[in-house]
Amino acid sequence: MHAEFFPVLVTVRPDDAEYAPTDADPAAARILRAGELRAGDLVLAAISRGRDTLARTAYETEAYRADPAPYDRSCPCDVCYLAAHEPGPWVVLSAGYPWPAHDPWRVDDLALAIPHRRPFCTSQKDTAK
């Protein structure tokens, strides 16, 4: 398994009128790779990583439930079309939100999300009984 360590600035979710309110517990949020997200995980923010800038949260204006699906490079929607010209691999996290098209992410892109009904970290030691 590959591990990479770098600083990430996780800010408080904005609460102005542009951002839909959420009752999600921010203490439950975790940084996950897009390829690790599962159906029902609540996506709060992308983690933007500039070449020479500190990685930081970029909050969605409305948190949404992930519904991961394989990326189809031949999909004619505008967003998938743009992704088709970028290096991958990709995963589609939703269809219809945050825009009326697919939402492809690189599988290694980072998201701030609240896992849905699964432990964040388990080991064989925890489950072997």
Site of interaction with Zn ion (CB under 5 A): 75, 77, 80, 102
- For residues 77 and 107, which CB has a smaller minimum distance to Zn ion in the complex? 77
If phi > 0 it is left, if psi is from -120 to 50 it is alpha, else beta; for residue 96 that is left
- For residues 29 and 101, which CB has a smaller minimum distance to Zn ion in the complex? 101
- For residues 24 and 75, which CB has a smaller minimum distance to Zn ion in the complex? 75
Least spacing, CB of residue 83 vs Zn ion, in Å: 8
What stretch of H or E contains 80? helix 78-83
Least spacing, CB of residue 39 vs Zn ion, in Å: 18
DSSP 46: E
- Residue with structure tokens 């409305």? 62
Least spacing, CB of residue 107 vs Zn ion, in Å: 16
Which token pair is 74?
A: 């031949």
Least spacing, CB of residue 2 vs Zn ion, in Å: 28
Cβ neighbors of 19 (< 8 A, separation 6 or more) are 13, 59, 61, 62
- For residues 32 and 92, which CB has a smaller minimum distance to Zn ion in the complex? 92
